[in-house]
Amino acid sequence: MRLLITGGGGFVGARLARTLLARGTLAGQPIDHIALADQAAPPADLLADGRVSARVGPLLDQCAALADEAFDGIFHLASAVSGECETDFDLGMRSNLDSTRALLEALRARQQRHGALTRLVFSSSVAVFGPDASVPMPPVVADDTLPAPQTSYGMQKLVCEHLLADYTRKGFVDGHAARLMTVTVRPGRPNGAASSFFSGIIREPLAGVESLCPVSADVRHPVSSPSSAVAGLIAVYEASRAQLGGRLALNLPALNVSVGEMLDALEQVAGPEVRARVRFERDERIAGIVANWPTGATAARAAALGLKPDQRFTDIIRQYIDDCRQRPDAATTLKGLN
């Protein structure tokens, strides 16, 4: 089978590609080829695999051609992140909404020209949830909580969920939508996401660098490890419509954890000197965005697919440390760890 991963050069996309290549199969079919579409070239280890090709450039420019290409399945992860969508509204509308619609239109054209229904996993986000004056958000959001996005990023993800559901209902694509929790610990540099600090307060101290935490220690948030997020995307791809339990997006499993608990876990894994590298310095812009996010999430439909949340934040930190050790070419280093 031939697969396409949009955002395939990114952190989650590249990890998904590595996991799929290591498995060798998806939904019982051997994986012959994975194309990675992204603004930048994918990591060298992926390009070195004979089954991988790269498509570098804006997704919006790549979509039309997909109408005549034979991809059996697509993981659509490409997205501008929340912080940059707040700063640059047009960028978010183009990258998140227009690109997704162009992708859906290309797959609809493929279905109509060639009779081929493409399975499309869309990575939505817990950012679809928020409070509106008209409807208080429950502290812990469920699959069927009413979404009320408080960021343009969240709005764009929610709109794409509903576009996908209707293109699926019409038989244009076979859409499966999953809401990712905040994936942590991300390697590399801080990015424009308002949630970036959820990785920064672990990654930077482990690299011997001071990190600023822009919110208070009692802020709670639903997170998942990179491997859990990837496992969720694969399970959602492989699930039948009946197993998914509907066309609407489902929540992926979350570990609901406070910033203070994350730092306790950091101390437990790496010691008090490492934890001491985190300094609290409130950033009103970030804190304001985060205050409108849910403090936790449940994932009943994902649980029915056999997906489980990460059990302990210490495990998530150890996964990150293992990743750094296995891939010493990564930008992020570890300092002062035994």
- Catalytic positions are 153
Query: Near a second copy by CB under 8 A, which window of 155-163, 254-262, 264-272, 321-329?
Result: 155-163
**Residue 163 touching a second copy (CB under 8 A):** yes
Residue with token string 């010493």:
328
Say if residues 20 and 237 touch (Cβ distance below 8 Å).
no
Specify the residue, 91 or 248, whose C-beta has the smaller distance to a second copy. Answer: 248
Q: 155, 223, 252, 290: which one contacts a second copy (CB under 8 A)?
A: 155
- Nearest distance from C-beta of residue 20 to a second copy, angstroms: 26
Query: Near a second copy by CB under 8 A, which window of 209-217, 247-255, 262-270, 308-316?
Result: 247-255
Say if residues 255 and 327 touch (Cβ distance below 8 Å).
no
- Nearest distance from C-beta of residue 98 to a second copy, angstroms: 10
**Residue 199 touching a second copy (CB under 8 A):** no
- Nearest distance from C-beta of residue 132 to a second copy, angstroms: 4
- Nearest distance from C-beta of residue 200 to a second copy, angstroms: 27
Give the footprint of a second copy on residues 250-269 (CB under 8 A): 250
**Residue 99 touching a second copy (CB under 8 A):** no
Is the dihedral angle over the CA atoms 63, 118, 78, 15 positive or is it negative?
A: negative
255, two tokens: 């570990």
**Residue 247 touching a second copy (CB under 8 A):** yes
Q: How far apart are CA 293 and CA 139, in angstroms?
A: 9
Contacts of 44 (CB under 8 A, 6+ apart): 329
Q: 125, 152, 256, 332: which one contacts a second copy (CB under 8 A)?
A: 152
Q: How far apart are CA 232 and CA 307, in angstroms?
A: 7
- Nearest distance from C-beta of residue 199 to a second copy, angstroms: 26
**Residue 162 touching a second copy (CB under 8 A):** yes
**Residue 94 touching a second copy (CB under 8 A):** no
268, two tokens: 């437990």
* DSSP states along 266-317: HHHHH-HHHHTTEEE---HHHHHHHHTS-SEE--HHHHHTT----S-HHHHH
- Nearest distance from C-beta of residue 83 to a second copy, angstroms: 15
Q: How far apart are CA 331 and CA 317, in angstroms?
A: 17
Q: Three-state SS for 25?
A: strand
Q: 23, 114, 170, 312: which one contacts a second copy (CB under 8 A)?
A: 170
Number of residues that bind a second copy (CB under 8 A): 30
Q: How far apart are CA 193 and CA 151, in angstroms?
A: 11
Q: How far apart are CA 108 and CA 237, in angstroms?
A: 19
Query: Near a second copy by CB under 8 A, which window of 22-30, 42-50, 66-74, 127-135?
Result: 127-135
Which residues are at the interface with a second copy (CB under 8 A)? 89, 132-135, 143-146, 148-150, 152, 155, 158-159, 162-163, 165-166, 169-170, 242, 244-248, 250, 301
